[in-house]
Structure 1
Amino acid sequence: MSSVLHPVGPEGEGTYWRRRLVAVVVLLVVVALAVLGIRALTRSPEDAAAQGRKIDPSQVASTLTGSPTGSPTGATGTPTGDPTGSPSASPTSTGPVSPCEGAALAVTLTSDATTYGPGKTPKLVLTVRNTSETACSAEIGSATRTFVATDAAGAQVWSTADCQSSTASQVYTLEPGGSRSMSVTWSRMRSTAGCPDGQAAVEPGGYTVTGSWNGTTAAPLAVSLG
């Protein structure tokens, strides 16, 4: 035991102690290397991957302290444009349309032919047209129109007023230049007030047909019945 604590030899005691210290250090280094080698051989792939994914603390700080790149898009945000449901123009009031004055209307009478063969019945059309520059209202229908036929002597042989089966009418708005028409087919039968049964057909020949609307009479129309 004394030789360990007090080395014996030709060299000094300090030299022996230094050699022993170096040997101990070398031994510790060898042991440490051996331990590291063993740990490297026995380390799992998961540990190696985790070690390879080390996070830079500066990146973490930047992520936590950085300001957001966009503003919120929720309901608390300020709108950037006008609402899409807002009307593009204010409503315009049309207001009531005044009745058509007599001077604002033109009444015309036409037929589908001027000459009719035996058994052919004339179709007559009465048209009311707005000739003014403003819209107006007019009552159009069987209650406001009358067709009359007279013979060559001027005697009345037929009138829609004698056998009026309907008095329907309706108020229409006539735009400037607009028109409404009323039509009737003359069966070539005579008629008298009260529309009695047993009326005879008119004789072949020339007849004058007139049409009126609300008291305004159109230009007469000549037809020939064969």
Structure 2
Amino acid sequence: MPENTGSRGPSRNTRSTPSPRSGSGGSSSGKGVPTGRAAKSAGSAKTTKTATSAGAGTTAGRGRGRSASHPGASRRVADPATFRRRRLLVLVLALLLVAGIGLGVWAIVRALDAGTATDPEADTTPVATESVTPTDPAGDGTGDESPTEPEPTEPEIGATPPIPTACTPEEATLAVVTPSSPRAGATVGASIEVATTGTTPCLVDLGSGATTVEVLSGEDLVWTSAHCAFAPSERRLLLGEGATDSQLVTWPGSRSVEGCAAGQATAEPGTYRVVVTHRLDGQTLVGESTFSLS
């Protein structure tokens, strides 16, 4: 019994002190077993470190994910559809501007044209109609003038003109103009005038070959151009619608004989008639005038 008590003494009173780490050859008691508080502290430190590392990794992952999913965070780039819509809008606006300008110019031009068309002061120049004024021959024969030639009548281009014929009494008139009271023994002028009244052009010849002038006192033939022909002998003209022509013939105030011999008796004062006869191509025009010698 005493031997058992002595052997337990050392076991109770002696505490085993952990030795420092001596390498891989030491026993488990040589490494040291941590106490309960120390183990808790160590486990808490490991948990905190792991959580910190995990948080950092999660933050980094989120940052990388955000950067990858939102490349326009630092610089926004429009997509092609937006560019196309903008270009289409600009094109439509440009077309509307051009159309507006064109419409404005058109309206101005139309307004100017309308003002010109309705201008009451438009230039309306009347067409002058040329006519031949009858010559009033003087009793002394100084009024002899050359007749005015009428304008020729031309047919329309491409049309076949009709063959001209002599003027008939229905197509023309013949008149004689003389002074009212010439002196006896003085030269008396007689103006032969022809005017067309129809629409068809016709021929006249106021020369002495086709026109005869006679001076009569009652039924007495005092003087005639058949004895003393006047100039010209032929004067044929084609007269159109509304045309006129004239020829001046002078009477010396004396009688005449065949051959127009000079020195014939002077006509006495009194009333005389001038009869003009125009004959051409079977058509006859006659005109007459009366005057008195004083």
TM-score range, shorter chain: 0.5 to 0.7
1:216–1:99: structure 2 CA closer, same or farther, 3 Å change rule?
same
For 1:101 and 1:91, the matched residues in 2 are separated by 24
Structure 2 contact 277–287 (Cα < 8 Å) conserved: no
For 1:144 and 1:121, the matched residues in 2 are separated by 23
Matches within 5 A, 1:174-193: 174-193=239-258
The code of the aligned residue for 2:208 comes to S
Report Cα offsets for 1:71-103 as digits up to 9, x if no partner.
xxxxxxxxxxxxxxxxxxx94446354213413
The code of the aligned residue for 2:222 comes to V
Shift of 1:220: 2.5
Query: 1:108 corresponds to which residue?
Result: 175
The code of the aligned residue for 1:225 comes to L
Higher mean displacement: 202-211 or 113-122: 113-122
1:168–1:94: structure 2 CA closer, same or farther, 3 Å change rule?
farther
Report Cα offsets for 1:98-140 as digits up to 9, x if no partner.
21341312111111x2111345432101112211112223333
List gaps (5 residues or longer) in structure 1. Answer: 1-89
Runs of 4 or more above 4 Å deviation: none
For 1:165 and 1:182, the matched residues in 2 are separated by 10
1:95–1:157: structure 2 CA closer, same or farther, 3 Å change rule?
same
1:134–1:174: structure 2 CA closer, same or farther, 3 Å change rule?
same
1:92–1:141: structure 2 CA closer, same or farther, 3 Å change rule?
same
1:205–1:125: structure 2 CA closer, same or farther, 3 Å change rule?
same
For 1:119 and 1:202, the matched residues in 2 are separated by 7
CA RMSD of aligned residues (A): 2.3
Structure 1 contact 97–136 (Cα < 8 Å) conserved: no
1:98–1:217: structure 2 CA closer, same or farther, 3 Å change rule?
closer
User: SS of the counterpart of 1:116?
Assistant: coil
Q: Which has the higher strand share?
A: 1
Shift of 1:160: 1.0
Query: 1:163 corresponds to which residue?
Result: 228
User: SS of the counterpart of 2:235?
Assistant: strand
Query: 1:74 corresponds to which residue?
Result: none
Q: Identify which of structures 1 and 2 has the higher relative contact order when contacts are C-alpha pairs closer than 8 Å and 6+ apart.
A: 1
Structure 2 contact 184–268 (Cα < 8 Å) conserved: no
Q: Which has the higher helix share?
A: 2
Query: 2:197 corresponds to which residue?
Result: 131
Does 2:266 correspond to 1:201?
yes
Quote the sequence identity (%).
27
TM-score (norm 1): 0.53
- Kindly tell me the number of residue pairs found equivalent between the two proteins: 135
User: SS of the counterpart of 1:196?
Assistant: coil
Structure 2 contact 164–238 (Cα < 8 Å) conserved: no
Shift of 1:142: 2.0
